[in-house]
Structure 1
């Protein structure tokens, strides 16, 4: 079943601030990342535990932040792009913190996510986002990171293919469409 994302404002005539758009994008990104983590399970890939599942969700979130940065670069000036992406990353981090608290109890889950985001941002910097979507290398990197998290046990041997060939691109398409809708 396809994930339904609401990406139109209730009152389309009202002006939206970049922090408001960032908040909506963060919620949408969380839903997409969660959906893709669930889809891996539905495709018979096996999670060891909830920590591994959250790690996969976080990898998708990092990927979507990278996508948002490229999309914002096409649409906004440098100052507005920086504001949007900073607010977006902060709101995504809040989702990571809140959901991790629910699953694992008290702790600082936001800081490790930000560290992962900073590391991956350096890695993703070399990859391109064309008009038709992320490059092969972009999707391969996402697949590689998720493969690394899930291990190469028999049940998860082909997770990289699932992410590269299907889930990563679908995540991009859904997020890209929502991104455009929130600005239009």
Structure 2
């Protein structure tokens, strides 16, 4: 079944703030991250528990936030991009905290998400992103971080290949459409 994303505004002629656009992207990014985590399971990759599944979702969320930042590099100003990405990341942190509390109990999940985002942002900064999308090292880093989150068991040995060859390209295709539609 295809994932339904919400990338159209109800009142199309209304002006949207960057914070609203960031929130809408975050809503869709959360759905895409969950969908890709579920897809890994359907491809026979194994999660030990909900915490591990959430860790994989976090990697997908961070990847998407950084991809959005790169997608918009030339179409909006640095200040606008910073405002949008900040709103996006804070909303993603809210989604992560809400779902983590439901599944794992009380904790400061929001702060750990933001800390992980900041760490990954510095790591991904070393990788290229072209008009065609992320370079191979950018994608490979996502696959590597997902493999680390899932553990390097025999069952999860080839998760990097699944992420690079299938999941990340499909995710980026959907995310690109969402971002384009929300800015139109």
TM-score, normalised relative to structure 1: 0.97
SS at match of 1:74: coil
Q: 2:163 matched to 1:163?
A: yes
Once the two structures are superposed, residues 16-50 of structure 1 have per-residue CA deviations (whole angstroms, 9 ceiling, x without a partner) of 11111011011000000000000000001000000
**How far apart, in 2, do the equivalents of 1:71 and 1:130 lie?**
9
Instruction: Quote the residue 1:75 is aligned against.
Output: 75
Once the two structures are superposed, residues 127-177 of structure 1 have per-residue CA deviations (whole angstroms, 9 ceiling, x without a partner) of 122122211011000000111111221211111100011101111111111
Deviation at 1:2, TM superposition (A): 2.5
Structure 2 gaps, min length 5? none
Instruction: Quote the residue 2:117 is aligned against.
Output: 117
The answer to whether the Cα contact below 8 Å between 1:133 and 1:169 also exists between their aligned partners in 2 is no
Structure 1 gaps, min length 5? none
After superposing on structure 2, the runs of 4+ consecutive aligned residues of structure 1 that deviate more than 2 Å are none
Deviation at 1:74, TM superposition (A): 2.1
The answer to whether the Cα contact below 8 Å between 1:59 and 1:145 also exists between their aligned partners in 2 is yes
Instruction: Quote the residue 2:180 is aligned against.
Output: 180
The answer to whether the Cα contact below 8 Å between 1:134 and 1:169 also exists between their aligned partners in 2 is no
Instruction: Quote the residue 2:134 is aligned against.
Output: 134
Instruction: Quote the residue 1:12 is aligned against.
Output: 12
